[in-house]
């Protein structure tokens, strides 16, 4: 069961998928709609489509905030028939177009031990690459509503997009902001992530509703606090690298805990060493 959409601002609705707590955002305009992220599997996407149709009959445009399975593997179900535009950062487009088998395999390996049923579905999921690449930013007209898609820089991945709905004062942050758990650093750029969050904060007001990739909706103060944690972690990584400290020592000082901190430290050290 995927759940239902709840209106969180004028014409902006959010559905939280219960298994991984992924947030999907539906923006409804005059005769058109925008769907941000498509969940993990064809089954989840079919339930998502039914939930969206309970809100609006309008055709939709799809946006992927990035190329991780829980945000885009439903593309083929939601955007192929009838075909509709799918926007994503150009590197997310490239990943889904050129490396679908690699993405499926990585998704399967990530969840197979804790969620074997989901892993089996992921292994059989047809992937659909986005059709409209975004480099830095694009403005969409969604039934008379101006919606900004912006790449704020490297952070959770190298291909993150945020979605700003200024007339509703809503910002969809994707996994650049996390509420239900610590940020995920496996494919991240921990030294640049604070700058990406600083960039998205420039789109906010004190009253902005921020929709994180996973978990409860948050306010701007929550995002500022997470930005401070990310900045502290980046400083700790740089200091540890300068002092030739092992990543484990840096991880012990991470504001997000030792395990996420160790992944972040190893990623940061690789970046400082010029390694991929």
Q: Where are the domains of the chain?
A: 6-219
Confidence at residue 2, expressed as pLDDT on a 0 to 100 scale: 73
Contacts of 273 (CB under 8 A, 6+ apart): none
pLDDT-derived band at 276, boundaries 50, 70, 90: confident
What is the CB neighbour count within 10 angstroms for residue 50? 11
Strands 137-142 and 132-134: unpaired
Mean pLDDT value of segment 229-246: 98
Residue 3: per-residue pLDDT: 85
Cα atoms in the Cβ-side hemisphere of radius 13 Å centred on 73: 28
Rounded CA separation 269/210 (Å): 31
Neighbouring residues of 109: CB distance < 8 A, sequence distance ≥ 6: none
* pLDDT of amino acid 1: 60
Q: Give the pLDDT confidence score for residue 275 in this predicted structure.
A: 86
Mean pLDDT of 141-161: 98
* Mean per-residue pLDDT, 177-188: 97
Q: Which CATH architecture has domain 6-219?
A: 4-Layer Sandwich (3.60)
Question: Where does the pLDDT of residue 131 fall: very low under 50, low under 70, confident under 90, or very high at 90 and above?
Answer: very high
Quick check: pTM over 0.95?
yes
Tell me the pLDDT band of 176, cut-offs 50, 70 and 90. Answer: very high
Round to whole Å and give the CA distance between 114 and 74: 21
pLDDT digits (tens, 9 = 90+) for 41-70: 999 999 999 999 999 999 999 999 999 999
Mean pLDDT of 97-108: 97
Return the residue matching tokens 């400082």: 272
**In the structure, what pLDDT confidence band is assigned to residue 9 with cuts at 50, 70 and 90?**
very high
> Range with the lowest mean pLDDT among 1-5, 90-94, 184-188?
1-5
Give the other-Cβ count within 10 Å of 193's Cβ.
Answer: 28
Region 135-155: mean pLDDT is 98
């Amino acid at each position: 069961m995927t759940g239902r959409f709840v209106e969180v601002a004028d014409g902006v609705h959010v559905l939280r998928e219960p298994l991984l707590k992924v947030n999907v955002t539906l923006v409804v305009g005059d005769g058109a709609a925008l769907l941000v992220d498509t969940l993990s599997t064809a089954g989840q996407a079919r339930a998502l489509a039914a939930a969206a149709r309970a809100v609006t009959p309008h055709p939709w445009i799809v946006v992927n905030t990035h190329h991780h399975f829980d945000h885009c593997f439903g593309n083929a179900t939601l955007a192929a028939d009838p075909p509709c535009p799918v926007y994503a950062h150009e590197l997310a487009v490239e990943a889904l177009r050129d490396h679908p088998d690699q993405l499926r395999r990585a998704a399967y390996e990530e969840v197979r031990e804790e969620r074997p049923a989901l892993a089996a579905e992921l292994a059989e999921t047809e992937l659909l690459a986005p059709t409209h690449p975004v480099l830095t930013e694009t403005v969409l007209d969604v039934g008379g509503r101006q919606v900004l898609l912006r790449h704020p820089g490297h952070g959770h991945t190298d291909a993150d997009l945020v979605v700003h709905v200024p007339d509703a004062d809503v910002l969809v942050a994707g996994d650049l902001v996390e509420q239900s758990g610590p940020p995920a650093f496996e494919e991240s750029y921990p030294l640049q992530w604070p700058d990406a969050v600083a960039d998205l904060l420039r789109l906010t007001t004190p009253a902005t509703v921020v929709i994180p990739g996973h978990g409860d909706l948050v306010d701007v103060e929550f995002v500022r606090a997470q930005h401070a944690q990310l900045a502290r972690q980046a400083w700790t990584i740089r200091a540890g690298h300068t002092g030739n400290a092992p990543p484990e020592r840096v991880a012990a000082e991470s504001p997000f805990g030792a395990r996420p901190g160790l992944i972040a430290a190893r990623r940061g050290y690789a970046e400082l060493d010029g390694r991929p």
